[in-house]
Structures are given as C-alpha cells and as structure tokens.
Homo-oligomer: A and B are copies of this chain.
Amino acid sequence: MDSIKNRRSIRKYKQDEIPASLLNDLLEEAFRASTMGNMQLYSVVVTRDKQMKEKLAPAHFNQPMVTGAPVVLTFCADFNRFSKWCRARKAEPGYDNPISFLNAATDALLVTQNFCTLAEEHGLGICYLGTTIYNPDQIVEILQLPELVMPVATITVGYPDECPSQVDRLPVQGLLHDEVYHDYSVEDIDRIYAYKESLPENHRFIEENQKETLAQVFTDVRYKKADNEYMSGILKATLKKQGFEK
C-alpha cells in the first residue's frame, strides 16, 4: 500500500475544511478495527472550534499543528459508556482497574492507527501528538472527560500544505526476533543504528544541541529521565482520578 509506504507526518495544513460527512465515514470505517470482546472501548472527541483548539494547545506544548489544523481528534480509552450500559441492564461492571484501562487504551490505539491509514489514503495529512499522555490531566479538564475515560492519542488532520522528506527507519531485521528475543550485543547496536547515525540531519542535530552523540540529544534534551519521572506521576494521578486504579 503506497499510502502507508510513502507516508510522512504532516504539520502544515491548507485552510480547507474537512467535510463532516467525510470525517464521519473515515471514523466509521476505522471503528472496524479489532476490539476486545466487541466492546468498542473508545470515544473520539472532535475539535473544530478555534477557541477549543487554543485551550488544547498548551496541553500539547503549543505545537502549532493544534491551532493550525482544521480538525483535532482526541482518541480516548472509554469504559464509561460500557459501564453505564451495564448498570442500565441489571449488570454490575468491574472495569475500574489497570487491566481495563490497558484494554480500553489498546482498543483506542488500534482505532487511531486505522483512522490515520484511512485519512492518508483519502489524501489527508495527519500528525500524531505524543503529548496527550504527558498532560492527560489538562486534556481531561478541557474536554470534560468523566470517570473511566482517559485520553490516549491526539491526531491533527487536514489537507497537506507541505511535503517533507520521509524520515529514516531502523533496518527491519534489527526489530525482528525469530522464536525468542535475541538480546542485542554492542555490535548489533552499532549495525542497527549505523544508518541513522550517518545521516547529515542527525549530525546537524548533535551540533545544534551541542552534544557529543545523537543518543545524548535524546537523553539530555528531548526525553529526559527527570521529565519522564515527573510525567509518570501525572499519568498515575490522572489514571487514579479517572477511576482506573481500584
């Protein structure tokens, strides 16, 4: 499938709106993804309103795609709807626990990827915002998510107004393991990361950040231990607040 093979994240969008019927159709098709026991443990909040985008932007560290895209979609793990159905049908739900969160998050993420594939196949561009799980507390408040609903993915969507070059990927054999996991030797690591480390853009990246190695840009600048620990605290507190920690 060329739309998957040639894909790139799109961060600049034309001002053209996405017709509501198209968005609806793409989401409906995306909902054909596999789902735990056919429970469909997800909801999608659709943001088109300018003021709502401005409210959401800080939760996504003000990445310009949030206010620049015609549509922002927040995919949520949702055991609220299912639990409400149970209670309305003389059944007592027991989904206020970590495994249920992970079940619902899985459902939501499969649907998210399905939506991205379908959107790109229809000529739309998307950008996946990893920031959703860094500031879930803010997103819960802005989108008024009730108990047993937790945001897990945000996608900005629109007609592409750029065509960036495709980014690198590690060689496929470095990610596959036959029968059991074969742990990596230093030589394996050297081989797997050689191409990535050879790229001029990554040399520039090291220089710009005044680091010695590309890995240091990740550990010291982009994804720091202290930040990860701080955000882990927010994640745990939000899961508890949303009722998934019983």
With A31-B175, A100-B228 as known contacts, state yes or no: A213 contacts B89, CB within 8 Å. Answer: yes
Chain B, Cβ-Cβ closest to A173: B24
| Min distance, Cβ A104 to any Cβ of chain B, angstroms | 11
B180 touches A143 (CB 8 A): yes
A61 sits at the interface (CB 8 A): no
**Chain B residues with Cβ under 8 A from A142's Cβ?**
180
A149 sits at the interface (CB 8 A): yes
Give per-residue flags for A172-196: 1 if the beta carbon is below 8 A from chain B beta carbons, else 0.
1011111111011010011011000
Which of these, B28, B85, B99, contacts A193 with CB under 8 Å? B85
**Chain B residues with Cβ under 8 A from A228's Cβ?**
94-95, 97, 99-100
Q: Count this chain's copies in the assembly.
A: 2
**Chain B residues with Cβ under 8 A from A67's Cβ?**
none
Chain B, Cβ-Cβ closest to A166: B32
A179 touches B231 (CB 8 A): no
With A97-B228, A184-B81, A189-B81 as known contacts, state yes or no: A91 contacts B176, CB within 8 Å. Answer: no
A5 touches B29 (CB 8 A): yes
A169 touches B32 (CB 8 A): yes
The answer for the CA separation of A175 and B44 in the assembled complex, in Å, is 6
A225 sits at the interface (CB 8 A): yes
Give per-residue flags for A1-34: 1 if the beta carbon is below 8 A from chain B beta carbons, else 0.
1001101010000000000000010011111111
**Chain B residues with Cβ under 8 A from A110's Cβ?**
109, 112-113, 116, 128
**Chain B residues with Cβ under 8 A from A112's Cβ?**
110, 113
B106 touches A152 (CB 8 A): yes
A159 sits at the interface (CB 8 A): no
Chain B, Cβ-Cβ closest to A33: B113
| Min distance, Cβ A164 to any Cβ of chain B, angstroms | 13
**Chain B residues with Cβ under 8 A from A45's Cβ?**
176-181
B172 touches A28 (CB 8 A): yes
B229 touches A94 (CB 8 A): yes
**Chain B residues with Cβ under 8 A from A207's Cβ?**
none
The answer for the CA separation of A45 and B174 in the assembled complex, in Å, is 11
The 7 nearest A-B residue pairs measured at CB: A94-B225, A34-B128, A89-B215, A113-B113, A91-B215, A89-B213, A109-B109
- Given A94-B229, A106-B152, 4 other A-B contacts at CB below 8 A? A40-B170, A94-B228, A97-B232, A117-B117
